[in-house]
Amino acid sequence: MQITFSSAALPKSGAIIIPIFEDGKKTKAYNDVDTKSGGALERAIKDSAFEAKKGKTLEILSPGELTNSRVILVGAGASKDFTALDAEAIGGAGAAKVLASRDKSAVFAINGLSAKKIDASELAARIANGARMKSYRFDKYRTKEEKKDKPALTKITVNTNATGAKAAYADHDKIGDGVFLTRDLVSEPANILYPDSFAKRCKKLVDLGVKVKVLGETEMKKLGMGSLLGVGQGSERDSRLVAMEWMGGKKSDAPVVFVGKGVTFDTGGISIKPSPGMGDMKWDMGGAGAVTGAMAAIAGRKAKANVVGVIGLVENMPDGKAQRPGDVVKSMSGQTIEVLNTDAEGRLVLADAMWWAQETYKPKTVVDLATLTGAIIVSLAHEFGGMFVNDDKLAKQLKEAGEATGDKLWHMPLTKTHYDMIKSDIADMQNIGGKGAGSSTAAAFLGRFVKDDVAWAHLDIAGMAWNEKDTATIPKGGSGFGVRLLDEFVRANYE
pLDDT at res. 306: 98
All residues at 6 or more sequence positions from 14 whose CB lies less than 8 Å from its CB, including other chains: 68, 69, 103, 104, 105, 106, 107
Each residue of 375-433: pLDDT tens digit?
999 999 999 999 999 999 999 999 999 999 999 999 999 999 999 999 999 999 999 99
Residues tagged active-site: 273, 347
pLDDT at res. 11: 94
pLDDT at res. 221: 98
pLDDT at res. 145: 83
pLDDT at res. 147: 80
pTM of the predicted protein model: 0.97
Q: Which CATH class is domain 2-163?
A: alpha beta
Residue 3, classified by CB atoms within 10 Å of its CB into exposed (0-12), middle (13-18) or buried (19+), is buried
Q: Do domains 2-163 and 174-494 have the same CATH topology?
A: no
Q: Where exactly are the structural domains of the chain?
A: 2-163, 174-494
290 — phi, psi (to 5°)?
A: -65, -40
**Among 130, 199, 193, 124, CA closest to 162:** 124
pLDDT at res. 380: 98
How many Cα atoms sit within 13 Å of 188 on the Cβ side?
Answer: 21
Q: What is the mean pLDDT of each run of 10 residues along the chain (495 residues)?
A: 95 96 90 96 93 94 95 94 95 97 97 91 98 96 86 96 96 98 98 98 98 98 98 98 98 97 98 95 98 98 98 98 98 98 98 98 98 98 98 98 98 98 98 95 98 98 96 96 98 98
pLDDT at res. 144: 87
pLDDT at res. 231: 98
CATH architecture type of domain 174-494: 3-Layer(aba) Sandwich (3.40)
SS (HEC) of the chain: CEEEEECCCCCCCCEEEEEECCCCCCCHHHHHHHHHCCCHHHHHHHCCCCCCCCCCEEEEECCCCCCCCEEEEEECCCHHHCCHHHHHHHHHHHHHHHHCCCCCEEEEECCCCCECCECHHHHHHHHHHHHHHHCCCCCCCCCCCCHHHCCCCCEEEEECCCCCHHHHHHHHHHHHHHHHHHHHHHHCCCCCCCHHHHHHHHHHHHHHCCEEEEECHHHHHHHCCHHHHHHHCCCCCCCEEEEEEEECCCCCCCCEEEEEEEEEEECCCCCCCCCCCHHHHHHCCHHHHHHHHHHHHHHHCCCCCEEEEEEEEEEECCCCCCCCCCEEEECCCCCEEEECCCCCCHHHHHHHHHHHHHHHHCCCEEEEEECCCCHHHHHHCCCCEEEEECCHHHHHHHHHHHHHHCCCEEECCCCHHHHHCCCCCCCCEECCCCCCCHHHHHHHHHHCCCCCCCEEEEEECCCCCEECCCCCCCCCEECCCCHHHHHHHHHHHHC
- What separation in angstroms does the CA of 262 have from each of 315, 331, 447? 8, 17, 19
**Among 454, 486, 477, CA closest to 360:** 454
